[in-house]
Amino acid sequence: MTLDMSRCDLNIKSNNSSHHTDLNGEERLIVRRGQPFNITLHLKPGSEEFKLAESSFTFVVETGPLPSEESGTKVSFSLRDTTVDTEWSASASNDPSGNTVSVSISSSPDAPIGLYSLFLEQGWEKASLGQFILLFNSWCPRDAVYMQSESKREEYVLAQHGQIYRGTYKRIKGTPWHYGQFEPGILDICLKILDKNPKFVCDPDEDCSARRNPVYVTRVLSTMINSEDDRGVLVGEWDEILDGVHPLDWIDSGEILHLWAESGPVRYGQCWVFAAVACTVSRALGIPCRVVTNFGSAHDTDANLVIELLFDESGNRISSDSIWNFHVWVESWMTRPDLGPEYDGWQASDPTPQETSDGLFCCGPASVKAIREGELTKKYDAPFIFAEVNADVVNLLQLPDGEFVKLSGSTKSVGQFISTKAVGTDERLDITHQYKYPEGSKEERQVYEKAQHHNKLHQQQQEEESGLHIKLAHDMVVGSDFEVCAVLTNNYKKTRNCTFVFFARAISYNGKQGDSCGFASDKVKVPSGQERRLSLKLQYDSYGSVITPDRLIQLSAIAFDKKATDYHIAEKTIVLDEPDIDIKLTEKAAVNQPVTAELSLWNPLPELLQDCSFTIGGFGLTGVKHVTVKYVPFQNKKSKHYKKYFIPTRAGSSVLLVSFDSDKLKNIKSFAKVVVEESISTEI
């Protein structure tokens, strides 16, 4: 029998709700693979009653510009008694009235993700039933991204707000970020990113077919979030920024993705921005994802798993290897059938363009378990990520004659306090143990030795005790003057006559040194077992004009006794504290009702702030774009209070993100949780 059909109802609202895609809206059908969805076929009046046993029609699904059965981008399937959870299948039942036929369609749990067209074939006739988007499904046990924990699925797939950790390992600060994967238009942009990747351009059908594999998709995103090899999303910039948007000014991914869709690569991003956008796109496509920060992150340029930091006698660093104060990447959850089940789970990938992999600027996904065990032959890019979290460090001083003298070494300074947002709270979760065994432990050293073996290196640098360290002040608030101290201890039996140098300079989070902002030196005689101190006063008049918006200052102390060929060096990076934005809502939040946010901020600087502005935003609170309001100059050492109202458009829990910017005080961010109630009608 054939169906004389008048229309097809995709039941968008109920399907999207059961597939956890209702936050995308009700404009179109968005489902997750391996899980049935229901459609309703409406028959024309007077049509013959539907009988399953006599049906002779076929459903066809197609994705990509060149769908084919060979690549799995085109699949045909007929009705059966019930759907199955291993392949595309359909079952049907008719309404007692005989006017409609309810059809349940289940996609394959390893079907390629993307935009699909659904057809009904009867003989030689082919009728379009509509389109739908198919996503990865962490609720489906047969899907490669399956997560057993509902709370983790809510955090790593559905949560639209998070914390990204920055600063130094001694002063870790969470910065709020709005991922916004369910905002209008974002899913389309994410699919567009896949369609712009070089592999799609070369072979569209092969690329679309490969989108069944989250490993493949994650590697594509690692390439496409940066714009080094293609017209990807973000342009990276770590030097002085004179155009575009400074990376510190971004507070959400949605604005970046919309700008890219409208006009191409967006200027500018740095590691946390690259990672945040990658997290948004991954979650939008259904891949569980989280943002991870590694403090004391090594950049090993020659892949020998040793960070060789070279200095001249003035303390200037002259090496290509470096240690970033922090570096941010993402982890995505998936199985690794290409590596073996023991490497399933979190996979690290890094969209920040640092080194090439297979000829492109991408990194990962690499199994975090493989990194922890030093299994560096496991793809992708495990040696580079291993070095970021577990490389040994050697400090070398270049003498005027060109000879290098070893100052000190460390096996513990790289890879500290590896952090991500905890599930269900805004607390920091330390996941260092997932990347490495405890520092200095037998297991950690064994893993390092194994990693060296994989890289054909059999030397191991041991940590040496330094008689030089730096002590910090308790209150180091931007705008204040404070004093730091270098302490030199003579651990030898004889008196030492040393040249003692202590200086400060601005530094970026990626280790790039800036201008000097303090210097002190002395000739000291240090008897055995005694110490000498050299103080350095850091004044705002000196550091205020040279620090970057990261508010980082690197302190370096060098002490050497040339006669005894005894050299010591100590370094410490400090991050200046910032004022807090106080946020208060004057009334309860309700849909379509204005809510006033009272914002207050203290200016800690001893000078006037110009070009002041507050920016507020949040999903369902301020619309797609954030609201920026400029204010009059801000007096020094004073508090300012501002009011700004917004009108929520969606009920439920959300987060109001607030940032303050000015000519001299930048990157001040805070947030407040907001629970929006349904609008209460006053009509009788």
Q: Are 506 and 543 in contact (CB under 8 A)?
A: yes
Q: Is 444 annotated as a binding residue?
A: yes
Distance CA 260, CA 328 (A): 21
Q: What is the DSSP letter of 32?
A: E
Rounded distance, CA 477 to CA 540, Å?
Answer: 10
Maximum separation of any 2 CA atoms in the chain, in Å: 109
442 Cβ contact list (under 8 Å, min separation 6): none
Backbone torsion region of residue 600, taken as left when φ is above 0, otherwise alpha when ψ lies between -120 and 50, otherwise beta: beta
What's 156's DSSP letter? I
**∠156-160-162 over CA atoms, to 5°?**
75
The Cα–Cα gap between 11 and 29 comes to: 8
Exposure class string for 321-356: b at 16+ Cβ within 10 A, else e: bbbbbbbbbbbbbbbbeebeeebbbbbbbbbbbbee
Distances (CA, A) of 510 to 172, 177, 238, 268: 16, 20, 8, 15
Alpha-carbon distance of 150 to 426, in angstroms, equals: 18
Sheet holding 366-367, edge to edge: 366-367, 345-349, 322-334, 289-299, 416-421, 428-430
3-state secondary structure 367-434: EHHHHHHCCCCCCCCHHHHHHHHHCEEEEEEECCCCCEEEEEEECCCCCEEEEEECCCCCCEEECHHH
**Cβ atoms < 10 Å from Cβ of 574:** 23
Taking CA atoms, 178 is separated from 227, 484, 683, in Å, by 22, 37, 36
390 annotated as belonging to a binding site for a ligand = yes
DSSP annotation of 225: S
DSSP 248: G
Listing DSSP states for 38-91 in one string gives: EEEEEEPTTPPPP-GGG---EEEEEESSS--TTTTSEEEEEB-SS--SSS-EEE
Q: In a 3-state reduction of DSSP, which class is residue 580?
A: coil
Closest among 154, 36, 156 to 88, alpha carbons compared: 36
- Work out the number of other CB atoms within 10 angstroms of the CB of residue 430: 13
Active site residues: 271, 327, 350
CA dihedral (16, 17, 23, 25) positive or negative = positive
Q: Are 638 and 671 in contact (CB under 8 A)?
A: no
Write the Ramachandran bin of 58: left for phi over 0, alpha for psi from -120 to 50, otherwise beta: beta
Cα gap 258→25, rounded to integer Å:
18
Output the known binding site: 390, 392, 439, 444
**Annotated binding-site members for Ca(2+):** 390, 392, 439, 444
